């Protein structure tokens, strides 16, 4: 039975293994890099092309790019998961509350959400991060602030679909408490769709964090972060391409893996696409 499941969902299996590998690489970064410090280099070794000692070369400060790319996975994964977790929780709670109670509560929550959506996401995130100052924490907050309405709208519409169904009314009539109603009847209706959305969003959140860092509003030097590494290597695109190629590849591979994983998860969880 179990074997069957993995064989049936071959794409999900492959990409979950790959995603696991990326996560393991982040967790065991010191082992993989043989203890090379991603923050410490010698200016004597600055901008060396890939060789046996530094397989990805070195950057401007003489730091090993391989170590920085591996350690960069920690920053990227942790911040991307943090964003997804925050918007998942905040969006779900606000959306469910808005959909269940309706009226003035719904109006207030959803108008705030509309305001957020009416503005280009990354531009608003740039403004928020710019006001709060550059740091990876603020970047996570900024992106969360512009992303939660998507989840709130989704949760609200799913709640409203079942809000007036007979079994819900029956539960209310039989005296179920409001909290019980939300947790037992509303949230389970919302969860599968939100989980799928969250899984497919991991990749794009990673991109947004990298974009903020690239523009100088996210991670701060000398943090190993892929977006920041791209920005640092920008001036050397022609003469020392390895400064940009490896962090670029890291972003590309990780985003593809998590996007495909999200797609795989959707195929499994979304009943409409299951035969």
Partner 1 sequence: MRKSMKKLLALGMSAAMAVSALAACGNNSSTDNKTASTGKDTSTTQSSNDSSGEKVLKFGVQMYSDGLIDPASQTNEAWNYMRFGIGESLFKFNDNMEVEPWLADSYEVSEDHKTWTIKLKDGIKFSDGCEMTASKVKASLDRLKEEGPKGSSTPEKYLEYEAEITADDDANTITIVTQKAYVDLTGNLANPVMAIVDVDDTKDFSNETIGTGPYKVESFKDQVGYTMVANENYREEVPYDKVEILFMGDASAKAMALKSGQIDLAENITNVSDIKDFQDNDDFTVDIASGVRTGFSWMNQNGVLKNETLRKAILMAIDYDTICESNAIGGLYTAGFSVLPSTLSYGYDKLKNPYAYDVDAAKKLLDDAKIVDTDGDGIRELDGENINLKYVSYENRLLNDFSDAHAQYLAEIGIGVTADYGSSDDQWSKLVAGEYDLNNNNWTTVGTGDPTEYLANWYSKSEADYCGYKNDEYDKLYEELLAEFDADKRAEIIQKLQQVLVDDAVAVIDGYYNSSMIYSKNVGYAHIHTADYYWLSTEITPAK
What CA–CA distance (Å, rounded) separates 262 from 268? 10
Among residues 27, 39, 165, 172, the one that binds partner 1 under rule CB under 8 A: 39
Residue whose token pair is 């593809």:
256
Residue 10 found at the interface with partner 1 (CB under 8 A): no
Cα 159 from Cα 102, distance rounded (Å): 10
239 binds partner 1 (CB under 8 A): yes
d(CA 9, CA 266): 11
Structure tokens at 214: 């690239």
Interface pick for partner 1 out of 23, 47, 160, 268 (rule CB under 8 A):
47
Q: Which has the closest alpha carbon to 84: 3, 176, 198? A: 198
Please identify, among the stretches 28-36, 60-68, 145-153, 267-275, the one whose residues bind partner 1 according to the rule CB under 8 A.
60-68
* Binding track, positions 129-148, relative to partner 1; x by CB under 8 A: -----x--------------
Looking at the Cβ atoms of 111 and 234, the one nearer to partner 1 is 234
Q: Is the peptide bond before 230 cis (omega within 30 degrees of 0)?
A: no
Q: Which stretch binds partner 1 (CB under 8 A): 35-43, 109-117, 120-128, 266-274?
A: 35-43
Measure the CA–CA gap between 104 and 263, rounded to whole angstroms: 36
61 counts as binding partner 1 under rule CB under 8 A:
yes
| One of 22, 23, 220, 268 touching partner 1 (CB under 8 A) | 220
Judged by CB, which is closer to partner 1: 220, or 269? 220
Does 238 sit near partner 1 (CB under 8 A)? yes
Structure tokens at 231: 């920005």
Give, as one character, the DSSP assignment of residue 271: G
Q: Minimal CA–CA distance to 49: which of 232, 221, 230, 245? A: 245
The residues of the shown chain that bind partner 1, judged by CB under 8 A, are: 39-44, 46-48, 60-62, 134, 216, 220-222, 235-236, 238-240
């Amino acid at each position: 039975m179990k074997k069957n499941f993995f064989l049936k969902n071959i794409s999900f299996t492959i990409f979950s293994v790959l995603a696991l590998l990326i996560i393991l690489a982040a967790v065991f970064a010191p082992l993989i890099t043989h203890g090379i410090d991603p923050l410490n280099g010698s200016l004597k070794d600055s901008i060396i092309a890939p060789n046996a000692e530094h397989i990805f070369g070195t950057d401007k400060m003489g730091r090993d790019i391989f170590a920085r790319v591996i350690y960069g996975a920690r920053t990227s994964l942790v911040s991307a998961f943090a964003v997804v977790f925050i918007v998942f929780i905040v969006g779900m709670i606000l959306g469910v509350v808005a959909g269940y109670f309706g009226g003035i509560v719904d109006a207030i929550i959803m108008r705030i959400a509309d305001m957020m959506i009416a503005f280009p996401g990354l531009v608003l995130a740039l403004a928020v991060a710019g006001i709060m100052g550059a740091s990876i924490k603020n970047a996570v907050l900024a992106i969360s602030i512009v992303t939660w309405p998507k989840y709130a709208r989704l949760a609200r519409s799913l709640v409203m679909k079942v809000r007036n169904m007979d079994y819900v009314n029956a539960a209310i009539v039989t005296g179920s408490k409001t909290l019980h109603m939300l947790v037992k009847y509303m949230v389970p209706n919302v969860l599968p769709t939100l989980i799928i959305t969250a899984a497919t969003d991991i990749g794009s959140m990673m991109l947004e964090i990298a974009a903020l860092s690239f523009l100088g509003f996210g991670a701060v030097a000398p943090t190993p972060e892929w977006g920041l590494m791209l920005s640092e290597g920008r001036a050397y695109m022609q003469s020392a391409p390895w400064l940009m190629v490896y962090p670029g590849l890291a972003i590309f591979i990780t985003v593809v893996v998590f996007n495909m994983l999200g797609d795989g998860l959707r195929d499994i969880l979304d009943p409409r696409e299951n035969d």
